[in-house]
Amino acid sequence: VSRKEELRVLIIGLDKSGKTTLLEKIKGLFGDTPGLEPHAILPTVGLNVGRLEAFQAQLLLWDLGGAPGLRSIWDKYYADSHALLFVVDASQPARLEEARCELERALASRELFGAPLLVLANKTDLAPEGGAGSSARLGLERLEGRASRVQPASALSGAGVREGLQWLVEQVR
Ligand code: GDP
């Protein structure tokens, strides 16, 4: 992906994991970057898009609805994505297995082959240690041929958000 080209980041995760909050936080952090006119589009139910400039890259972030009925639309966007941002609620260990299944399904998609994966272990403001176990429990050690990283974060406070996004941009560049 060249500097001029738009870098498309697909945000997925279970419902209530914090995807929309994250996208709004990212818009707030980077949306007023000089030289870029920030805008957000809300074209359809279950899809939220953010266009902004961050770390000298032109980003398009897609936040897809995570409710069970909407998960089937995820793969329609896979082919157009360069990087994957999976949001997991680190304060809800009871849903980690469900999250692992969804992540596995996404990673099995041929369209996402080789795309770098950032797992945002979100809501660590509620569960400071919640990010630690996420890597093993999401099965990330078994990933091959794909850059991946777990970033403890809080979409609410913004902690960890810049670091995670920067890592992801650097993997694609
Ligand atoms: P989505 O369904 O994945 O888009 O999740 P939302 O962004 O709608 O967030 C679901 C709920 O979790 C909302 O009440 C958010 O305010 C809350 N939430 C999201 N991120 C955080 C976080 O980092 N910390 C805390 N404490 N709450 C969060």
15 is in an annotated binding site: yes
Structural domain of residue 120, as residue ranges?
6-172
Residue 58 Cβ inside 6 Å of ligand 1? The answer reads no
Task: Write the DSSP string, the chain.
Answer: --SSSEEEEEEEESTTSSHHHHHHHHHHHHTT-TT---EEEEEETTEEEEEEEETTEEEEEEEE--SGGGGGGHHHHHTT-SEEEEEEETT-GGGHHHHHHHHHHHHT-GGGTT--EEEEEE-TTT-TTTTTTHHHHTTGGG--SS-EEEEE--TTT-TTHHHHHHHHHHHH-
Structural domains of the chain, count: 1
Question: Is the residue at 148 inside a domain?
Answer: yes
This model of the complex carries an ipTM of 0.99
**For residue 13, how far is its CA from the centre of ligand 1 (angstroms)?**
12
27 is in an annotated binding site: no
pTM summary value: 0.88
Nearest ligand 1 atom to alpha carbon 126? 26
pLDDT at 149: 94
pLDDT higher than threshold 90 for residue 151: yes
Question: Is the residue at 1 inside a domain?
Answer: no
Indicate which CATH number applies to the domain containing 120.
3.40.50.300
> What average pLDDT does this structure show over 85-90?
95
Residue 48 Cβ inside 6 Å of ligand 1? The answer reads no
